Structures are given as C-alpha cells and as structure tokens.
C-alpha cells in the first residue's frame, strides 16, 4: 500500500521543491510521473528540470514522445501505470486506486493560493476517508516538518 505525502509550499517555490523530491524518488529507484493538467506549467517544469540541480541532471521528458515508456521521469497528464511515484502539481487529480498501487504519491500545493489550499484539503479528506495513509508536510524556517499523519 502506498503513501500520500502532501507538501504545503510556503518558503520554497515548486520549481525548487520538485527537483529535490524527484532526486529523492530517483535515489529510491522509482520511476516518476509529474502530473499536471496545465500544459504551460508542464513546459515550465520541463525547462526547470533541464537546468537541473547543480550536482546532477534529472533525465526526463514531456509526455507524448516516442520513448515515453523509457523515461525515468515523465511530465504529463497520463495514466500512472508503470510508475512507482506520482507527483501531482497544479491541482492535478490522484485517486485512491493510484495511491494504493504506487510506492508514493506526492501532492505539492502553493500555500499562498487559497484555491490550491482548498483543493489540497479536499484531496486529503477524500484520500484519507477512503483509507489511504497520508502525511502532511509543511515548511518552517526552511526545513520540512511532518505536521500530521492519518491512516
């Protein structure tokens, strides 16, 4: 059974947090899907990942290419089959069956956006009410702290 981790972004933007989380997921040997419904957001994240962390490169591609099945990190609004980890950004949906089938589901949301906060709260309730194990992580003074766990 997988875990859903909710990341409440307040100190660091998505563009800084996502590469860090992808790096950790790849270190665990996981194939990662970064799911978003906004094409412009996916293109912006693609550009960010091409710049990569200072100490390495994160091999990835935008969904829709001929080699999608071979990509260790794929950005798109596609089915999670074949992935160990889904990172939902921009309010993209994840469902109970996916969470339970994956090693990890990460839901990243902007803590300065009231609509994003409401969406994340709804996802938390929906997933935990269905029996998913979830953790809520928030930033304090530049560090990630686990604030809640359910399930």
On whether the pTM is more than 0.75, the answer is yes
| pLDDT band with cut points at 50, 70 and 90 for residue 2 | confident
Q: Per-residue pLDDT tens for 64-114?
A: 999 999 999 999 999 999 999 999 999 999 999 999 999 999 999 999 999
Say how many CA atoms lie within 13 Å of 87 toward its Cβ: 25
Contact 23, 58 (CB under 8 A): yes
| Domain at 129, CATH number | 3.40.50.10110
Q: What is the tally of structural domains in the chain?
A: 1
d(CA 86, CA 73): 10
d(CA 39, CA 89): 12
Q: Per-residue pLDDT tens for 11-39?
A: 999 999 999 999 999 999 999 999 999 99
- Per the structure, the complete domain to which residue 106 belongs is given by 3-150
Contact 87, 41 (CB under 8 A): no
């Amino acid at each position: 059974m997988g875990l859903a981790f909710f990341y409440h972004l307040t100190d660091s933007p998505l563009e800084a947090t996502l590469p860090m989380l992808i790096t950790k997921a790849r270190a665990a040997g996981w194939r990662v899907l970064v799911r978003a419904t906004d094409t412009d957001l996916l293109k912006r994240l693609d550009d960010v990942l091409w710049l990569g962390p200072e100490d390495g490169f994160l091999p990835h591609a935008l969904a829709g290419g001929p080699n999608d099945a071979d990509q260790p990190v794929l950005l798109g609004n596609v089915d999670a089959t074949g992935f160990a980890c889904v990172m939902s950004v921009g309010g993209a949906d994840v469902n109970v069956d996916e969470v339970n089938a994956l090693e990890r589901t990460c839901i990243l949301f902007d803590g300065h956006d009231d609509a994003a906060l409401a969406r994340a709260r709804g996802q938390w309730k929906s997933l935990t009410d269905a029996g998913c194990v979830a953790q809520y992580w928030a930033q304090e003074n530049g560090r990630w702290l686990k604030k809640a766990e359910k399930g």
